[in-house]
Structure 1
Amino acid sequence: MTSTRERQRAAARARLEKEMAERAAAARKRRQLQAGIGAGVALLLVVAGTVWLVASLGDDETETPQADSDPAGTTCVWNEIPAEQRSPTVKDVGLPPTTTPPDTGTQVITLDTNFGEVQVTMNLAEVPCTAASFSHLASNQFWDNTKCHRMFPGMLQCGDPSATGEGYRDSDGTGGPSYQYANENLPVDDRPAYPAGVVAMANSGPDTNGSQFFFIYQDVELSPDYTVVGQVTQGLEVIQEATEAGHDGAFDPSPGGGHPNNDILINSLTVSEPQ
C-alpha cells in the first residue's frame, strides 16, 4: 500500500516538474532581458532610502535541474548537475552524505579572513540540509583561498570557488559545487527579512542553493527568497571594515554594485561538529 509520505513525495514531484517547465521559460526570458550580466533572479534591495536592482548571479549558459525537496523534511536531496550542463567554474568534490542530518543543536562556521575571524552560528532545527552541505564542502577545503567577489550596499557575497588568485575579478560569479539543494528557513514573516548580521544563501532561482552565500552587514530589504544560514555571532565588525572601501562599480548601473575594492580573502572556512 502506498504510504502517505510516498503520496506526498509523488505529488511534490509532479508540482516540481510543472514548476521546472515554467521556470525554464522564465529563465530564457530573463537571459534575454539581462544579456551580458549573467543574472539569475532579479530583486529589489533598499538601503538608506535607495532602491537597487540586484541580480544573484548564476550560470547563464545552462539550465540545471531544480532541487527536489522532501515534504516530510526528514532527508536532504542533493540534485547532481549533469556533467554536460556544468559550467567550467563548477568545482566537483562529490555529494554530501545521504544519511539524515542532525536537526537539533548548533554548528559554527569559522572563516579565517585577511581582515580577521568571523563566526556564524547555524541552528540545525532550521537548516539541517544547509548545514550538511556546508560541512561537506568545508571538509573538502572548498572555500579555502577564495575571495568575496561581489558587494552591494549592506551586502557582501562570497563562496565562488573560481574567485581565487590575481584574476578573480574576471570571474562572473557562476562557480559552485556539482549539486544543488532546496531552500530552507525562508524569512517570509520577518521584517526586515535580512537584518544586519544575517548570513544567507545566494541562488539563481528557487531551490538552486550551491556554495555562494552573502553577509548582511547593515539592514536591507530583500524579498524572502534566500535561505537564512545563520547569524554572525563574532566578527561582524570584520565584514564592516572589509567593505568600507566600497566596490569598483563593475555591475553599475544594472544590476548595481561591483567587486569589493579591498581583496577580501577567505584563508580557510571550517565547520564545527554539532553541539
Structure 2
Amino acid sequence: MSADQLLIFFAGIVGGALRVGAPFLFVSLGECITEKSGRINLGLEGVLVLSAMSAFGASYLSGSAWIGVLAAAATGALLATLHGVLCSLPRVNDIATGIALMLLGMGLAFYLGKPLIQPQAPQLPAIALGNWSDSAAVRSALQVNALVPIGVALAVALWWAFANTRAGLLVRMAGDSANATRALGYSVSAIRIAATAAGGMVAGLGGASLTLFYPGSWNEGISSGQGLIAVALVIFARWSPVRCVWTSLLFGGAGAIGPALQSIGISWGYHLFNIVPYLLTLLILVITCRPGTTVSGSPGELSSAR
C-alpha cells in the first residue's frame, strides 16, 4: 500500500466515522436522555426511520433541508411522546411498548414514504475538512455533515445540564429513585414523559442525517438497525452524553472500514466488514450485560425489578 493510498484509507475511516457515526450520535444521545429518567425506549428504531422519511418528505416538498430537519425532530418527539404516555399507564411494560412503537413507526414510514423513493430532495450543506489536501479522494472523504458539530455541542450541553441544572437533576433523580422523587412532590410520570419526548426529538435528528446527507435518499432499508444498536451504545458509554460522542465515532469508523478499503481498490471481503458494527454490539452486550451484575453508571430504576 503506497503512502497516497494509506492517506486515502485513513481519510476514509475518519470521514466515514463522522458520516456514519452521525445517526448513532443523535440516537444514542436521545436514548441517554430517556434512560437517565429511568425509562427504556426500544422504539427508537421506529423513531429513526419515521423521522428519516419525514425529513426527506419535508425537504422535498418545501425545498429546504433545514425544514426537513425540523420535521424530523418534531416527528421523533411525537412518536416518543406516545411511548412515554403509554408507558405511564398502569401495568404497561416499557420493552413491549417500545417494540410495538418500533413496528408502528417503521410501518408508517414504509407506507407514507412510498412516493419518496424516486425523487431527490435538497440536502444539508457539507463542512469541508479536507481542503488542506491536493487529493480529490481525500477532500471527498472528509466532507462532514453540518449536523455533526450540533450533535457534539448538544452532547457537551447535556453533560453540563445533567450535573448543573434543576431539570437535569430532576431527570437523574427520577431515574435513580422514583420513590425519592415522589417524596419531594414531583411527578415521576411527567418527568419521564418529558425526557422521553426530548430523547425522541434528538433521535429524530439522526433520521435527518440519514436522508439529508448520507446516504442522502429515502428507502425502506435506510436504518439497518441503528436505532437498536444505539441502546447498546448507551450502555457502552455508561450513560454519559460526552462518551456517546466517542462511542458513536467508534461505531461509525467500524462501519466505514469496508468503503475505505474499496476506495483504494481493495474489494475482497467488502461485505464482511459491513457486519463489524453488529459484532461490536454483540460483544458489548456480552461483556456488560451479565446476570446478577449492575453496569457502572446505570440509573437505579433501570436495574431494579419493575
Q: What TM-score do you get using the length of structure 1 for normalisation?
A: 0.25
Larger Rg: 2
Flag the structure with higher strand content: 1
Higher RCO, 1 vs 2 (CA within 8 Å, ≥6 residues apart):
2
